[in-house]
Amino acid sequence: MMSHVLTLVAQRDTTTLDSTTIALARDTLDGARDITVLSPEEAVDIPCPATAHARLPALHAALEGRAIDAVLTHQDGRRKRLLVSDMDSTIVANETLDDLAAHAGLGEKIAAITARSMNGELDFATALRERVALLAGFPSSLLEKAWKDVTLNDGARELVQTMRAHGAYTALVSGGFTFFTSRVADLCGFDEDHANTLLLDDAQTSLTGETGHPVLGPNTKLALLESLAFAHGIPLAETVAIGDGANDLPMLKKAGLGLAFHAKPIVRQSVPAQINRTSLRTALFVQGYPASVFSGS
Protein backbone atom coordinates (compact mmCIF):
# COMPACT_ATOMS: atom_id res chain seq x y z
CA MET A 1 0.00 0.00 0.00
CA MET A 2 1.35 3.40 -1.00
CA SER A 3 0.63 5.23 2.27
CA HIS A 4 3.30 7.90 1.88
CA VAL A 5 4.48 10.43 -0.69
CA LEU A 6 8.02 11.40 -1.54
CA THR A 7 8.22 14.98 -2.78
CA LEU A 8 11.34 15.52 -4.84
CA VAL A 9 12.29 19.16 -5.52
CA ALA A 10 15.19 20.70 -7.44
CA GLN A 11 16.57 24.17 -6.81
CA ARG A 12 15.28 25.69 -10.02
CA ASP A 13 17.98 28.38 -10.26
CA THR A 14 20.83 25.89 -10.37
CA THR A 15 19.56 22.54 -11.65
CA THR A 16 16.62 20.62 -13.09
CA LEU A 17 14.83 17.48 -12.01
CA ASP A 18 15.52 14.97 -14.77
CA SER A 19 14.02 11.55 -15.45
CA THR A 20 17.16 9.75 -14.26
CA THR A 21 16.98 11.40 -10.82
CA ILE A 22 13.27 10.68 -10.54
CA ALA A 23 13.87 7.03 -11.41
CA LEU A 24 16.68 6.83 -8.85
CA ALA A 25 14.39 8.14 -6.12
CA ARG A 26 11.51 5.89 -7.14
CA ASP A 27 13.67 2.76 -7.24
CA THR A 28 15.50 3.53 -3.99
CA LEU A 29 12.23 3.91 -2.08
CA ASP A 30 10.32 1.24 -4.02
CA GLY A 31 7.92 3.94 -5.16
CA ALA A 32 5.05 3.73 -7.61
CA ARG A 33 5.50 4.14 -11.35
CA ASP A 34 2.73 6.71 -11.54
CA ILE A 35 4.10 10.06 -10.39
CA THR A 36 2.54 13.52 -10.22
CA VAL A 37 4.43 16.42 -11.76
CA LEU A 38 3.98 19.46 -9.53
CA SER A 39 6.26 21.70 -11.56
CA PRO A 40 8.02 20.55 -14.76
CA GLU A 41 11.71 19.84 -14.14
CA GLU A 42 11.35 21.20 -10.59
CA ALA A 43 9.07 19.05 -8.42
CA VAL A 44 7.28 15.70 -8.43
CA ASP A 45 5.29 13.53 -6.03
CA ILE A 46 6.10 9.82 -5.90
CA PRO A 47 3.71 7.52 -3.96
CA CYS A 48 5.70 5.23 -1.64
CA PRO A 49 5.08 2.49 0.92
CA ALA A 50 5.63 3.09 4.66
CA THR A 51 8.90 1.16 4.36
CA ALA A 52 10.30 4.14 2.45
CA HIS A 53 11.26 5.71 5.80
CA ALA A 54 14.01 3.13 6.28
CA ARG A 55 15.35 3.74 2.79
CA LEU A 56 15.29 7.54 2.88
CA PRO A 57 18.88 7.89 4.25
CA ALA A 58 20.13 5.92 1.23
CA LEU A 59 18.36 8.34 -1.10
CA HIS A 60 19.78 11.34 0.72
CA ALA A 61 23.24 9.84 0.36
CA ALA A 62 22.68 9.27 -3.36
CA LEU A 63 21.61 12.90 -3.79
CA GLU A 64 24.49 14.32 -1.73
CA GLY A 65 26.06 17.35 -3.37
CA ARG A 66 23.08 17.99 -5.62
CA ALA A 67 20.65 20.89 -5.19
CA ILE A 68 17.69 18.58 -4.61
CA ASP A 69 15.50 18.01 -1.55
CA ALA A 70 13.56 14.83 -0.82
CA VAL A 71 10.79 15.02 1.79
CA LEU A 72 8.66 12.05 2.81
CA THR A 73 5.18 12.66 4.25
CA HIS A 74 2.02 10.66 4.91
CA GLN A 75 -0.42 10.67 2.03
CA ASP A 76 -3.38 11.67 4.22
CA GLY A 77 -4.04 15.28 5.22
CA ARG A 78 -1.17 16.80 3.30
CA ARG A 79 -2.64 20.28 2.84
CA LYS A 80 -2.42 22.07 6.16
CA ARG A 81 -4.91 24.64 7.44
CA LEU A 82 -2.58 26.56 9.74
CA LEU A 83 0.92 27.87 8.99
CA VAL A 84 3.13 29.08 11.84
CA SER A 85 6.52 30.29 10.66
CA ASP A 86 9.69 31.68 12.17
CA MET A 87 11.01 34.87 10.57
CA ASP A 88 14.81 35.26 10.77
CA SER A 89 16.70 32.94 8.39
CA THR A 90 13.34 31.43 7.42
CA ILE A 91 10.93 33.93 5.87
CA VAL A 92 13.74 36.48 5.55
CA ALA A 93 17.37 35.80 4.71
CA ASN A 94 18.54 37.95 7.62
CA GLU A 95 19.10 37.65 11.34
CA THR A 96 17.60 41.07 12.01
CA LEU A 97 19.15 41.54 15.45
CA ASP A 98 22.57 40.79 13.97
CA ASP A 99 21.93 43.37 11.24
CA LEU A 100 20.92 45.90 13.86
CA ALA A 101 24.12 45.13 15.77
CA ALA A 102 26.21 45.53 12.63
CA HIS A 103 24.94 49.09 12.21
CA ALA A 104 25.92 49.71 15.84
CA GLY A 105 29.43 48.38 15.20
CA LEU A 106 28.79 45.31 17.37
CA GLY A 107 28.20 42.81 14.58
CA GLU A 108 30.69 40.07 15.40
CA LYS A 109 30.10 40.20 19.15
CA ILE A 110 26.32 39.86 18.90
CA ALA A 111 26.38 37.40 15.98
CA ALA A 112 28.48 35.03 18.09
CA ILE A 113 25.81 35.02 20.81
CA THR A 114 23.08 34.50 18.19
CA ALA A 115 24.90 31.49 16.78
CA ARG A 116 25.23 29.88 20.20
CA SER A 117 21.54 30.41 20.90
CA MET A 118 20.35 29.07 17.55
CA ASN A 119 22.56 26.00 18.00
CA GLY A 120 20.99 25.33 21.39
CA GLU A 121 24.16 26.13 23.33
CA LEU A 122 22.66 29.08 25.21
CA ASP A 123 19.21 29.65 26.71
CA PHE A 124 17.20 31.81 24.31
CA ALA A 125 15.96 34.39 26.84
CA THR A 126 19.44 34.80 28.29
CA ALA A 127 20.96 35.21 24.84
CA LEU A 128 18.33 37.77 23.88
CA ARG A 129 18.89 39.86 27.04
CA GLU A 130 22.68 39.76 26.57
CA ARG A 131 22.47 40.93 22.96
CA VAL A 132 19.89 43.65 23.50
CA ALA A 133 21.74 45.01 26.54
CA LEU A 134 24.74 45.73 24.32
CA LEU A 135 22.57 48.08 22.25
CA ALA A 136 21.70 50.40 25.16
CA GLY A 137 22.06 54.06 24.23
CA PHE A 138 22.27 53.56 20.48
CA PRO A 139 19.88 55.67 18.36
CA SER A 140 16.55 54.13 17.39
CA SER A 141 17.27 55.23 13.82
CA LEU A 142 19.38 52.05 13.54
CA LEU A 143 16.12 50.12 13.24
CA GLU A 144 15.28 51.81 9.94
CA LYS A 145 18.80 51.21 8.69
CA ALA A 146 18.56 47.51 9.56
CA TRP A 147 15.15 47.29 7.89
CA LYS A 148 16.70 48.38 4.58
CA ASP A 149 18.88 45.25 4.73
CA VAL A 150 15.96 42.84 5.04
CA THR A 151 15.40 40.50 2.09
CA LEU A 152 12.57 38.00 1.75
CA ASN A 153 13.64 34.45 1.00
CA ASP A 154 12.59 33.00 -2.34
CA GLY A 155 9.06 31.64 -2.10
CA ALA A 156 8.08 33.48 1.08
CA ARG A 157 5.20 35.40 -0.48
CA GLU A 158 4.12 32.38 -2.52
CA LEU A 159 4.01 30.18 0.58
CA VAL A 160 1.87 32.55 2.63
CA GLN A 161 -0.43 33.78 -0.10
CA THR A 162 -1.01 30.37 -1.68
CA MET A 163 -1.95 28.82 1.64
CA ARG A 164 -4.25 31.74 2.45
CA ALA A 165 -5.86 31.51 -0.98
CA HIS A 166 -6.73 27.90 -0.16
CA GLY A 167 -8.26 28.68 3.22
CA ALA A 168 -5.32 28.37 5.61
CA TYR A 169 -4.62 30.76 8.48
CA THR A 170 -1.06 32.09 8.69
CA ALA A 171 1.01 33.48 11.56
CA LEU A 172 4.55 34.84 11.74
CA VAL A 173 6.04 33.98 15.14
CA SER A 174 9.52 35.29 15.91
CA GLY A 175 11.98 35.62 18.74
CA GLY A 176 12.98 38.86 17.02
CA PHE A 177 11.17 42.17 17.25
CA THR A 178 7.76 43.53 16.31
CA PHE A 179 9.41 46.41 14.44
CA PHE A 180 10.46 43.86 11.82
CA THR A 181 7.73 41.22 12.04
CA SER A 182 4.92 43.72 11.45
CA ARG A 183 6.58 44.86 8.22
CA VAL A 184 7.50 41.38 7.04
CA ALA A 185 3.98 40.17 7.79
CA ASP A 186 2.59 42.98 5.62
CA LEU A 187 4.98 42.16 2.77
CA CYS A 188 4.06 38.48 2.75
CA GLY A 189 0.40 38.70 3.72
CA PHE A 190 0.46 36.87 7.07
CA ASP A 191 -2.80 37.09 9.01
CA GLU A 192 -0.96 38.03 12.20
CA ASP A 193 2.50 38.33 13.72
CA HIS A 194 4.03 37.90 17.16
CA ALA A 195 7.49 38.89 18.42
CA ASN A 196 9.38 40.62 21.21
CA THR A 197 9.19 44.37 21.81
CA LEU A 198 12.38 46.40 21.69
CA LEU A 199 12.04 49.19 24.25
CA LEU A 200 12.94 52.82 23.52
CA ASP A 201 13.47 55.75 25.88
CA ASP A 202 10.70 58.25 26.61
CA ALA A 203 11.70 60.41 23.66
CA GLN A 204 11.65 57.35 21.36
CA THR A 205 15.11 58.28 20.10
CA SER A 206 17.37 55.73 21.82
CA LEU A 207 17.37 52.01 22.59
CA THR A 208 17.16 51.25 26.31
CA GLY A 209 18.91 47.90 26.02
CA GLU A 210 15.81 46.09 27.26
CA THR A 211 12.88 44.16 25.82
CA GLY A 212 9.26 43.95 26.88
CA HIS A 213 8.15 41.05 29.05
CA PRO A 214 7.55 38.19 28.86
CA VAL A 215 10.19 37.17 26.32
CA LEU A 216 8.81 35.34 23.30
CA GLY A 217 10.94 32.22 23.12
CA PRO A 218 10.59 28.54 22.19
CA ASN A 219 7.80 27.73 24.64
CA THR A 220 5.79 30.75 23.52
CA LYS A 221 6.12 29.68 19.89
CA LEU A 222 4.73 26.28 20.83
CA ALA A 223 1.94 27.86 22.86
CA LEU A 224 0.99 30.10 19.92
CA LEU A 225 0.84 27.12 17.58
CA GLU A 226 -1.49 25.33 20.00
CA SER A 227 -3.66 28.35 20.80
CA LEU A 228 -4.08 29.37 17.16
CA ALA A 229 -5.03 25.83 16.21
CA PHE A 230 -7.59 25.74 19.02
CA ALA A 231 -8.98 29.20 18.22
CA HIS A 232 -9.56 28.28 14.58
CA GLY A 233 -10.80 24.76 15.23
CA ILE A 234 -7.85 23.16 13.46
CA PRO A 235 -6.45 19.81 14.68
CA LEU A 236 -2.69 19.90 15.26
CA ALA A 237 -2.37 17.23 12.58
CA GLU A 238 -3.51 19.88 10.09
CA THR A 239 -0.81 22.41 11.01
CA VAL A 240 2.61 23.14 9.53
CA ALA A 241 5.46 24.90 11.33
CA ILE A 242 8.67 26.10 9.67
CA GLY A 243 11.90 27.24 11.32
CA ASP A 244 15.65 26.93 11.46
CA GLY A 245 16.89 27.32 15.03
CA ALA A 246 16.82 25.61 18.41
CA ASN A 247 14.07 27.96 19.61
CA ASP A 248 11.81 26.56 16.87
CA LEU A 249 12.19 22.93 17.94
CA PRO A 250 9.16 22.65 20.27
CA MET A 251 6.72 23.91 17.64
CA LEU A 252 8.39 21.93 14.85
CA LYS A 253 7.99 18.72 16.83
CA LYS A 254 4.38 19.44 17.80
CA ALA A 255 2.99 20.52 14.42
CA GLY A 256 1.40 18.01 12.09
CA LEU A 257 4.25 18.81 9.71
CA GLY A 258 7.42 20.38 11.07
CA LEU A 259 9.78 21.61 8.36
CA ALA A 260 13.41 22.38 9.18
CA PHE A 261 14.42 25.12 6.74
CA HIS A 262 18.18 25.38 6.04
CA ALA A 263 18.39 24.61 9.73
CA LYS A 264 21.09 24.45 12.37
CA PRO A 265 22.58 21.00 13.09
CA ILE A 266 20.63 20.52 16.33
CA VAL A 267 17.38 21.00 14.39
CA ARG A 268 18.36 18.69 11.54
CA GLN A 269 19.11 15.97 14.08
CA SER A 270 15.59 16.20 15.51
CA VAL A 271 13.27 17.06 12.62
CA PRO A 272 13.01 14.51 9.77
CA ALA A 273 11.28 16.72 7.16
CA GLN A 274 13.97 19.08 5.93
CA ILE A 275 14.41 21.72 3.24
CA ASN A 276 18.17 22.00 2.95
CA ARG A 277 18.89 22.94 -0.66
CA THR A 278 15.76 24.48 -2.12
CA SER A 279 13.42 27.38 -1.39
CA LEU A 280 10.21 27.95 0.55
CA ARG A 281 8.34 26.83 -2.56
CA THR A 282 9.15 23.34 -1.34
CA ALA A 283 6.88 23.86 1.68
CA LEU A 284 4.01 24.12 -0.83
CA PHE A 285 5.11 21.19 -2.97
CA VAL A 286 5.35 19.00 0.15
CA GLN A 287 1.67 19.75 0.77
CA GLY A 288 0.81 18.65 -2.77
CA TYR A 289 0.29 22.10 -4.28
CA PRO A 290 1.24 22.27 -7.98
CA ALA A 291 3.08 25.40 -9.11
CA SER A 292 0.14 26.25 -11.37
CA VAL A 293 -1.91 27.34 -8.32
CA PHE A 294 0.81 29.35 -6.58
CA SER A 295 -0.11 32.93 -5.66
CA GLY A 296 2.05 35.91 -4.76
CA SER A 297 5.01 35.41 -7.09
Catalytic residues: 86, 88
**230 contacts: CB under 8 Å, gap ≥ 6:** none
Burial class (CB in 10 A: 0-12, 13-18, 19+), 58: exposed
- Is residue 114 within 8 A of residue 261, CB to CB? The reply is no
Burial class (CB in 10 A: 0-12, 13-18, 19+), 32: middle
What is the number of residues in the chain?
A: 297
Number of CB atoms found within 10 A of residue 1's CB: 7
For residue 267, give the nearest of 254, 248, 286, 241 by alpha carbon.
248
